[in-house]
Structure 1
Amino acid sequence: MERRLTAILSADVVGYSRLMGVDEGGTLERLKACRRELVDPTIKEFHGRIIKLMGDGALVEFASVVDAVQCAASIQRKMASRDQGVSETQRIQFRIGVNLGDIIVEGDDIYGDGVNIAARLQGIAQPSGICISGTAFDHAAHKAEVGFSALGEQHLKNIADPVRVYRVLLDPGETGKVVAVARRPSRRAMILATFAALLIAAAVIAVGWQRAFAPQPPSIAVLPFINLSGDPGQDYFTDGITDNLITDLAKLSDLDVISQNSVFAYKGKPHVLSDIKRDLGVSFIVEGSVRRAGDQIRVNAQLIDAASGDNLWANRFARGGADVFAIQDELSRQIAEALGLELTPSEAERIARPPTANLEAYDYYLRAEQATRNGRRSRLLEALALFDKAEALDPGFAEAFAADAHATAYVWRSAYDDVLQSAPARKRAYDKASRALALDPELPSPYAVLAVMQVVDRRYEQAITSAQKAVSLGSADAEAYMALAYVQLVSGNHDGAAAAVETALQHDPNLSAIDRYTAGLVFYLLRDYAKAIDNFERARDGSPGNGELVTPLAMAYVRAGRLHDARAAVAEGVRLQAGRDCLAGWRLSHAHFRKQDLAFILDGLREAGLAEWPFGFKGDERDRLNGEEIASTVIGKLLRGKTEPSGSPALMQIGLDGNAAFRSATQLMTETVSINGDMLCEQSENAFGQADCGPVYRRANSPDETIYAYVNSTKVFYFSPVK
């Protein structure tokens, strides 16, 4: 039995039995002629494969959703002008449904819910109309020459779950439009039913239409410039020249630019133009060098045709250090001119505008950007301090605040509490992103940061708006599309998330480790385990030694039947995280996901052997305290003991009002303690501000003076109340 994802078109003649009753012979002849002259040629034109023809309908398979929708629209438009001499009561009309779904293939026939949903959509379409599913809409929006009207979630006959449905608008004047549901949706419906329509329609409108119907713009990769200063300490400055050239070129609407993340994979490595053309899919390559000596800067650059290797343009710039922005401006303009691009006045103004007039602030900014490049904890604290210095020297430096917000959000999202604890990191990221946008509302990066943070905070409407804005401003910005992917992933629109990932990969084939992790989750929840494994492995390889990016492989390996590899991944992830990785931690850090999606993640990790609690702790349920016993043991008490794995001393002071403080050799925090059922819960600025709950056990055979054990997602605390 073969399964595959495909686009299905189901068509049916309206009132076929009535037509046959009125004029059986005439109806049959007109229908045969219609198929021969109109339907079959149109299906062939759009590369469809007819699966079966029934007396009053057809089932057709397409490799492309866009082709399926275009075919349906073409048939209905042609039918509108056919049979003009036939009375209304005898005229042939079709209803058509289109779905993208999983099918079962047996011989030349197809079965499954993917087919059934297409048939049900055809059944609710108006005469001469088309209805498509949300999965089909996610791929066809602004790529097919039609408009769409969102009908919300519909309960279709014999289909277990509600299906998002869109009516296709065939009037040429409505092409490109997406009309939202007229009635006010519930909160759940807004997130799950109209989410893709609202988000994709607004997010992709600036670029999807152009990509579908206009010639593709030239694509270019700016390879990391070589530092010829003889001082490795000047790498940050050379990298800054590369970064800013990429940023400036990305501001040009007629040019596709590969992101910094992908091109910096080539830094310090020999490269072959044909390999770069193949790996990055670009037509042109810029390479160059920087020599900085004292107050003098010399930059050499050349533009190369990736296919032929021909040198299309080259120049040398030698200036004083104060003219670094003038050099960058001339570089961008001359490359654009060599490519035959005409800059609009606004593009020319944005390229010419220096990010700051303070060269010392700019220097701190470049150093901070270099420190954040690989996302390692050891450099992130240094980076935040450098951003602070740049911002203090120039409070109007929008790019510095935007980069600061991005780095801080990474710290917050990764729960790097040793760099900056959750609440301060969250506040800092919001503040820096807001400041950046106040200074320059056209920056896409702060909107991408806000989108991710808002969806984790479950502020879905704001996350949608921010993701829309990020993509509309950063049409070639992989970070913006990955923010869009994450918002859709969390909201359960996995097909839309996958589409956003694919778009991001066009601009950044070498996504960052955390973005590869997001992509892995998207494909895992889509049950595409080969792609999930590929992305999880790339995330692991992109951040060596990061156990948080090793464990995710386990769940994908399990689903792919690679149980031995899954258990090895769990063991390695736990080792790299010093025993702290556990199901409780995943449950807390992914609490903003849909319940069914989180359950599917946890089930995979559990089958791979990941323990429920950190350090492999297991309690005997016969020794577990109930809620009343926990309250009488800890509330209003000083608890003295030790923590795993080091056995270092620790204290927890809990007031009668639940206000508490916990202190160990490595941690000091204030929090609120409560009892939830038979669990003791701590709520602090960590764990995204969520309550971290766990059981309390008596230690029947304690090897020391501690007589209780409390465990949650981050700690095992052996303690005794102090009398």
Structure 2
Amino acid sequence: MADPAPNRRLATILFADIDGYSRMMRAAEEQTLLDLRAHLAELVGPVVERFRGRIVKTVGDGVFVEFASAVEATRSAVELQRGMSERNADLPVERRQAFRIGLHLGDVIVSDEDVFGDTVNVAARLHALAEPGSIVLSASVFEQVRDKLALPFRFLGSRALKNIDRPVPIYMLDGTALSESGPATAAAPGPSSSRRVLLATLAVFVAALALGGTIAYFAGRGTPADEAVAASSRMAAEPGLSVAVLVFANQSGDANQDYFSDGLTEDVTHALGRFKDLTVIAYSAVLPFRNKELPPAEIGKALNARYLVSGTVRRMGQRVRVTVQLTDTANSTQLWSEQYDDELSDIFAVQERIARRVAGTLATSLQQIALQKSLRKATDNLDAYDLMLRSRALTNEASRAGNRMAREMLERATAMAPGYAEAYAELADAYFQRAAFGWSEFAQGDIETAIRLARKAIELDEESVLAHSVLARAYTAISKYDLGLAESERALQINPSDADVLAARAAVLLWTGHIEESIAAAELAQRLKVNVGPEASLNLGIAYLLSRRYSDAVRLLEAARARHPTYPLLDFPLAAAYAELGRTADARDSVERAKRKNPYFDLSTFGSRFQNPALQRRVEDSLRKAGLN
């Protein structure tokens, strides 16, 4: 007798799991398990039932759910992410669990209440692409929901998935969009399909415009400290570091390419919004100024923006060229300009890559402008924000005296504004630098202080990238490599355009032995910010040394030493690189300089941060060639 035909049906499959669950289990196994069970019982079960889904199985931290409707599945996913955000609000940072969710629609086989088939495999692969708190859905789901749910879907291009024959076009709803958008309700009839994704995203910002026309991102937002709130309000009113990104002009001669320039404008706006000391004008607010030749001062006044970003996009065959300018609306002065060229192998990947580079370099320029303004002010009646800016200038000097004065200023800032997360993060960074640069007799104690202060900053603002970056470097310095990697990954998730975040990531990758990855992150950081500081230059120089790129090490370290002549460690890897190139006299000269700056240098401890002792021995061998013993 022939086997019966399999039971097939069309279904939308939802896969969800907890980001970083294994790490959380290692840190606090019982509490993590109790929290997960509570989330499943109190949130996941009721939400799935309300949207008429069926939990097929749970495995560890993973949940596998079947829905008959793509719309109900997507609504369920949105409610799960919002529900987790609410449940996490009152939990300490180390207990906060975040779902990654993937959705795919297709034909499945059902047997004994279990579900099988490629549709299940695709959904499982998609959830692995999601960021914590976000949802990734395939085009098959998107086509069913795009006209029914008013949600800001973002197209990520087609992705190759493991063991799946063809690339899958995918869309994303990130955590920020989910928290800012309204309920996942039916969408109103609207524009053509080529514009739906863009306009859905714009709708998110309409409510914000009614409240003042800007979306403010400042380190003290949402804290109970009156001083920090006042500083934030003052920045928006001045308008201080308020910036509007005008729609990039498409100069390709083909109106069909508008989607690329529009998407790039939106991506740059979104990426700049991740820098908390910038006030970024909503994308929807700049649309009325598209293709209008108006004086910068007039646009700035209308948008309440001190600075304007404008640009052009030109597509030439398989290459694209993007030119960007930064203008001060107060005097119509162009402050900065840069050009980017890239290959169009994957147009959406190019769009994302250029947006990150533009945002990173723009943010650096704007932050430097803010710093210069602060330093020109009189020194009396400083508030917490100005103290924080001045402390940055001092820590950038990379001197013992500057570090001491910076810590004193930041102690005052935290006393004035006890809810000001970024002041605690800057103070943590100053203490870590004190230990790392050899300016402390009690380095271990300073590192512990840095960790305590960084944790305090994260309690006040979970998305303090500087605090996560300090923790990444500090944990690595005390050989807690897994924690260091996890914190660097978290900082990168929050803001992948931040040069200092990339430098911290490069440091952790260096000491954990991922040399080429460290070089890639450090070089990107240097493209975004020419001077990322002596510590980052030291780390990249050591990475070049280990990668046998001796000429690159010399070029980098000579320039860094010229910028930071008092920093005590740059001469050591420079001497090693000279020695490997056979430049014996230069190597000896660098050794002598190094000894004068650091007379108690201990060769055996110089590379002690390396997780792999073999890498430490390689650095020691090069230093011995230079004449150290």
Provide TM-score, normalisation by structure 1.
0.38
Provide TM-score, normalisation by structure 2.
0.44
Please tell me whether Structure 1 or Structure 2 has the larger radius of gyration of its CA atoms. Answer: 1
Identify the structure with the greater helix proportion.
2
